[in-house]
Chains A and B, each alone.
Chain A
Amino acid sequence: DTGVSQDPRHKITKRGQNVTFRCDPISEHNRLYWYRQTLGQGPEFLTYFQNEAQLEKSRLLSDRFSAERPKGSFSTLEIQRTEQGDSAMYLCASSRVGVGAFFGQGTRLTVV
């Protein structure tokens, strides 16, 4: 499978715990995005990488969120001290110039 893959697909965690999600983009795509979707909303931008450089991070994010793409390939999104409001679908997408973004199937996070 050469699409965007995300792991895990589902995560249930207790409030206050840390969680980490992984995204493996399409190999020739140098751009990688993280979005979050809550019920009834369109995807909300979280952060964007071009190669290993994190070019933009949403001001909506608190310091509890951090993302990395250390070698310009896979990326991780970590949420520290999770809160119930963090419950959402976390989507990763990748693209290259002239091509629309391809999305992974997302990680569904539930904070209890």
Chain B
Amino acid sequence: AQRVTQPEKLLSVFKGAPVELKCNYSYSGSPELFWYVQYSRQRLQLLLRHISRESIKGFTADLNKGETSFHLKKPFAQEEDSAMYYCALSGLSGSARQLTFGSGTQLTVLP
């Protein structure tokens, strides 16, 4: 069965400090991994896909197949990064494209 685990429900850091949101997964096959973000009073939106290997808003995430992890990192957190972050995975084929979400991590960046 596929599963995504985000061990931290809440995470607080000070502005300018590094931040890492943890995500581990289990999947029998080759999944695609995502990070979605939901800012206050906004809809869920895609932040990162592991396949694109981009850095968005200073965030990066590397897929580690050995550790089955996809941690989200940013070297210098900003107050506007405060939001709910969800790690998610999907299969690669058309019939397996539904997302399996972790329970989410509420990030608060303190001034």
A binds B: no
